[in-house]
Amino acid sequence: MTDKYSGPERIFSGVQPTGALHLGNYLGALKKFVALQHDYECLYCIVDLHAITVWQEPAKLKSQTREIAAAYLAAGVDPDVAIIYPQSLVREHMELAWYFNCVARTGWVNRMTQFKDKAGKNAENVSVGLYAYPVLQAADILLYKATHVPVGEDQKQHLELSRDIAQKFNNDFSVPNFFPLPEPLIKGPGARVMSLRDGTSKMSKSDPSDNSRINLTDSAEVIVKKFKKAKTDMGVMPGPGEDLSDRPEVDNLIGIYAALSGETRQTVIARFEGQGFGAFKPALADLAVDKLSPMTSLMNRYLADPDEIDRILMRGADRARALATPIMDEIRSTIGFLGS
């Protein structure tokens, strides 16, 4: 018995196919996916089973799944290296989620702030799936015994739940270190991109104001316009060491610049110190257009050939299933099912 998980390091992450991706998804997740793919075995899932926890039009779900695949590819994920696939094509995700429903405690799930935010006052009327959502997320990760999970900061609590589930399974069935306790990879200036209209709320697909976010499908003109309209304040760009806690919008724009350029926040602050937003905003918009526009046109090129996207996704699902099958066999046998 070793006191530490000794399996291979493996990366897993997922994105929901619930609409156009935005700058937060790109900086919090996709950009990291690309950076990690050559150093680790990586699985990047399109989590359509999570998407249906709220109503999705069937035809739209298909096209949105292809759109996320196109975004992965356009961002630079190489499907010959990393595994990209839709979650619903590897049925073991659902099977393991059920086992984990029997391991996780309702008290743990009740604490999930994302459920509370999404359900709001309507908790009695949302799907059971939305409630169990984070348990399925744990199944996604642990089905492959993934050790690291690149995500934005909003997923931190879900990752803690995944660790708790892994630990309880290992304890309950007396299989120490059977599952690794997956580590979130969150750090970096893009981990929490905020709304362009309100620096205290997260940039999100569900914000009713389109001006609050930069979508990966936005044209260069729209990107420039949105940054021009972005909320700031009466001050100028801060200097090094200045406390920005009461200037959340400025703090956010500096973070976006740093994440896009790959520089530290300090470098960005030093460059723009004392300048007006009339100088900073166009520089930020230019940088964003520079980074995002080639990706947008590449995405559209991939989307022009949906059959090719489907081929890539089927192949990815086959590769994912091959990794999941032996792990799932072990899990069934550990739980005590006949025939396993």
Active-site residue list: 118, 202, 205
Cβ-based nearer residue to ligand TYM, 152 or 316 = 152
In order, the DSSP letters of 284-315 are HHHHHHHHHHHHHHHHHHHHT-HHHHHHHHHH
When binding is defined by CB under 6 A, the residue of 149, 256, 269, 284 that contacts ligand TYM is 149
- Please report how close the Cβ of residue 8 comes to ligand TYM at its closest, in angstroms: 18
**82 part of the interface to ligand TYM, by CB under 6 A:** no
Q: Choose one: 11-19, 231-239, 269-277, 325-333; the region binding ligand TYM (CB under 6 A).
A: 11-19
Binding of ligand TYM at residue 52 (CB under 6 A)?
no
- For ligand TYM, the binding residue among 83, 151, 230, 254 (CB under 6 A) is 151
Per CB under 6 A, the segment of 190-198, 261-269, 274-282, 328-336 that binds ligand TYM is 190-198
65 belongs to the binding site for ligand TYM (CB under 6 A)? no
Q: Look at residues 278, 272, 262 and name the one whose alpha carbon lies nearest to residue 239.
A: 272
Judged by beta carbon, residue 140 or residue 218, the one nearer ligand TYM is 140
In this chain, which of 10, 11, 46, 50 binds ligand TYM, going by CB under 6 A?
50
179 C-beta neighbours (distance < 10 Å), count: 25
Binds ligand TYM (CB under 6 A): choice among 37, 137, 147, 212: 137
- Total of residues contacting ligand TYM (CB under 6 A): 27
Per CB under 6 A, the list member of 5, 10, 11, 29 interacting with ligand TYM is: 29
> What residues contact residue 88 under an 8 Å CB cut-off, 6+ apart?
48, 49
Q: How far is CA 279 from CA 205, 219, 233, in A?
A: 28, 21, 14
Task: Tell me which residue has its CB nearest to ligand TYM.
Answer: 28
The answer to whether 60 and 29 have CB atoms below 8 angstroms apart is no
DSSP β-bridge partners for residue 83: 43
Q: Which residue has the tokens 């090719």?
A: 308
State the Cα–Cα distance between residues 328 and 334, nearest whole angstrom: 10
Of the candidate residues 52, 70, 82, 193, the single one contacting ligand TYM (CB under 6 A): 193
Q: Which of 11, 15, 216, 299 binds ligand TYM (CB under 6 A)?
A: 15
Which tokens in the block code for residue 197? 């209209």
Contact string 153-182 vs ligand TYM (x = CB under 6 A):
-xx--x------------------------
Of 2, 327, 31, residue with least CA distance to 185? 31
CB neighbours (10 Å) of residue 214? 26
Contacts of 320 (CB under 8 A, 6+ apart): 43, 45, 83, 85, 89, 90, 144
Angle at 57 between CA 52 and CA 60, to 5 degrees: 100
Nearest approach in angstroms of CB 45 to ligand TYM is: 7
Binding site for ligand TYM (CB under 6 A): 12-16, 24-25, 27-29, 47, 50, 137, 140-141, 149, 151-152, 154-155, 158, 190-193, 202-203
